[in-house]
Structure 1
Amino acid sequence: MEINVSSNIKDVTTDNFMSDVIESSKEKPIIVDFWAPWCEPCKQLGPLLEDAVKEQKDKITLAKIDIDQNQEIAAQLRIQSIPTVYTFFEGKVVDGFQGSKTNSEILDFVKKSANLSGPGEEVENLISMAKLSIEERNWNDANEISQKILTLDPENHIGFASLIKSMIGLNQFSDVREIVDALSAEIKESKPVVEALKSLEPSEKAFKAQENIQDLEKQLQNDPNNLENLQEMAVALYGKGDIATSFDLLLKSIEKDKEWNDQAARKQLIEFFSSAGFDAIETINARRKLASLLFS
């Protein structure tokens, strides 16, 4: 019998199948490679599987079962041809394939299986830290933590979303676009990344608008009820980082005329809610005031 020295690759028999596959899969995914010494495709597939699994370290285990020596398992699982590869997770088969695969297909299969158990504890802790830094608008810390997440888990959707949010907070708009262009379609279209990108355009618009703050202040001194100037000042203040005052100005505009310019102030406020985050204290307070204005 072949002896596997890697800590996450092992030979499994009928005697330890329940403990090393079924029970162990309740803690993390187990890929099972059903093979035989006479099977030429198995000889090609096996090393590729092993190399792919070694890259995943503690996230997954490869169990190799020689069906000639363990015919009972093969019969119970109705293995009719080899190579056959199954992924067990939480005690049952959740994925698999038969026959030969290209190296890239094997890498994708192993990566997909490894991701079933979600991020490790270290990554989960870093995600919590990144979320807190973003809520506090500590963009430098959020950026550094996000990069650590992606070092540990290079395809972590939340890690990319946090990185994008931090870069937007640091006004690195062109760099964000470069990163997004380089992302795979799967990551780019993931919910966390899509949500993070919603703040790109409004934040960039607000950042550019802050250059006109002094002129807008003078205009508002001369005409404090000019709704267009109020909205422009709100956008400029948002770009400066004075979110609470920005929201107050938009609410003031809505209070004066809800329907002005096709409800432009309300639409801008909703856009900024999404950009600032619906959990932000400024958003929570402004949403409460907006509801009072709209339904009073």
Structure 2
Amino acid sequence: MNEQITVIDITLDNFNQIVIEGSFNKPVLIDFWATWCEHCKTLTPLLEQIVASYGGQLILAKVDCDQQQQIVAQFGVRSLPTVVLFKEGQAIDGFSGSTTEANIRKMLEKYVEAPATPEGDLLEQAKTLYDQGDKIQAEALLKELLAQNNNNMLALILYARCLAERGELTEAETILNAVIDDDYKQELVAAKAQLAFLKQAVDLPSVEELQATVQEQPSSDELCYQLAIAQLAQQQYEQAMEGLLTLFKRNRTYQEDLPRKTLIQLFDLLGNDNLLVINYRKKLYQALY
């Protein structure tokens, strides 16, 4: 099969070669479509564009459902459009109906290495800089990226986080409130949790001052909570988690269960795979039951 051909019309004659055998070499995306299907008229060109961006790593196999009813019956297709992803001779994923480009790419990234793009490279560089603590350089790269495409939701979310880190809380909140893309719910929840902690910490004394005050008044629930928030604003996550958990164990009724709710917010910020989250989620569960 010609390696440059990435979009192929499927018939009974070539089905086994392209879909079954071919999927052992590279994933095959099967597009079940028909001329009378209105959603197909927008989805099929989008699939062709996405497959082309993978530079030969992915095949689009198009099945005209009016002409290839035996193949349609074999797959049990009940509605159009329907898309099925084949790999190593097996159907491994897919969807029915229309969806967004972001959703399709999110599905594909689990099975195919994402194509490198200048925009993607900039975003990855910005993420790396942000994670390393270089928020200024990360923000500069994000500005460059957003100047090219101000609809990149992940870039907008990370840009808002950079703004929040340097105290531009109102602008960061405006940006996050404008992000409505359902594809990045987790990233948006994390950014909003970070912003909430920073807003709470604005009028608080420094971590050092609060630590000194708590040593003098260790039984003050309010001071202990303030210290945890100040620590969160400084990204002292483990200390904050320990303080919130201790406060929860000591006084579950404080501010209507606020320590536990704040811990849950912090778990959202750091993500379920974070080792601190795994550890303290278990500790919180044990404290609850």
Question: Which interval holds the TM-score relative to the shorter structure?
Answer: 0.5 to 0.7
- The answer on whether the counterparts of 2:22 and 2:28 sit within 8 Å (CA) in structure 1 is yes
Task: Describe how 1:165-180 pairs up with structure 2 within 5 A.
Answer: 167=162, 170=165, 173-174=169-170, 176-180=172-176
| 1:208–1:63 CA distance, 2 compared to 1 (3 A) | same
| 1:281–1:168 CA distance, 2 compared to 1 (3 A) | farther
Which whole-Å CA distance do the structure 1 matches of 2:262 and 2:198 have between them? 14
SS at match of 1:121: coil
**Residue matched to 1:100:** none
Residue 239 (structure 1) aligned to one of 233, 240, 259? 233
**Residue matched to 1:15:** 13
Deviation at 1:236, TM superposition (A): 1.0
Task: Describe how 1:135-174 pairs up with structure 2 within 5 A.
Answer: 138-140=132-134, 163=158, 167=162, 170=165, 173-174=169-170
| 1:115–1:8 CA distance, 2 compared to 1 (3 A) | farther
Deviations 1:10-63 (A, max 9, x none): 45565323312454467220336778xxxxx9xxx9999568614532365445
**Residue matched to 2:222:** 228
TM normalised by structure 2 equals 0.56
- The answer on whether the counterparts of 1:209 and 1:236 sit within 8 Å (CA) in structure 2 is no
Which whole-Å CA distance do the structure 1 matches of 2:202 and 2:284 have between them? 26
SS at match of 1:199: helix
| 1:112–1:28 CA distance, 2 compared to 1 (3 A) | farther
- The answer on whether the counterparts of 1:187 and 1:193 sit within 8 Å (CA) in structure 2 is no
The alignment status of 1:186 with 2:177, answered yes or no, reads no
**Residue matched to 1:31:** 31
| 1:280–1:66 CA distance, 2 compared to 1 (3 A) | closer
SS at match of 2:202: helix
**Residue matched to 2:76:** none
Residue 200 (structure 1) aligned to one of 185, 194, 204? 194
Number of equivalenced pairs: 255
TM normalised by structure 1 equals 0.55
Deviation at 1:226, TM superposition (A): 2.0
SS at match of 1:241: coil
| 1:252–1:165 CA distance, 2 compared to 1 (3 A) | farther
Which whole-Å CA distance do the structure 1 matches of 2:208 and 2:171 have between them? 29
SS at match of 2:13: coil
Residue 56 (structure 1) aligned to one of 33, 51, 55? 51
Residue 269 (structure 1) aligned to one of 263, 273, 279? 263
| Structure with max Cα Rg | 1
Deviations 1:136-175 (A, max 9, x none): 953549x69x97xx99xx9999x67984796488456556
Sequence identity (%): 19
Higher helix fraction: Structure 1 or Structure 2? Answer: 1
Unaligned 5+ segments in structure 1 are 36-40, 98-104
**Residue matched to 1:89:** 85
Deviation at 1:230, TM superposition (A): 1.7
- The answer on whether the counterparts of 1:247 and 1:286 sit within 8 Å (CA) in structure 2 is yes
| 1:48–1:227 CA distance, 2 compared to 1 (3 A) | closer
Which whole-Å CA distance do the structure 2 matches of 1:267 and 1:47 have between them? 44
**Residue matched to 1:101:** none
| 1:258–1:123 CA distance, 2 compared to 1 (3 A) | farther
- The answer on whether the counterparts of 2:7 and 2:61 sit within 8 Å (CA) in structure 1 is yes
Deviation at 1:200, TM superposition (A): 3.4
Which whole-Å CA distance do the structure 2 matches of 1:277 and 1:64 have between them? 38
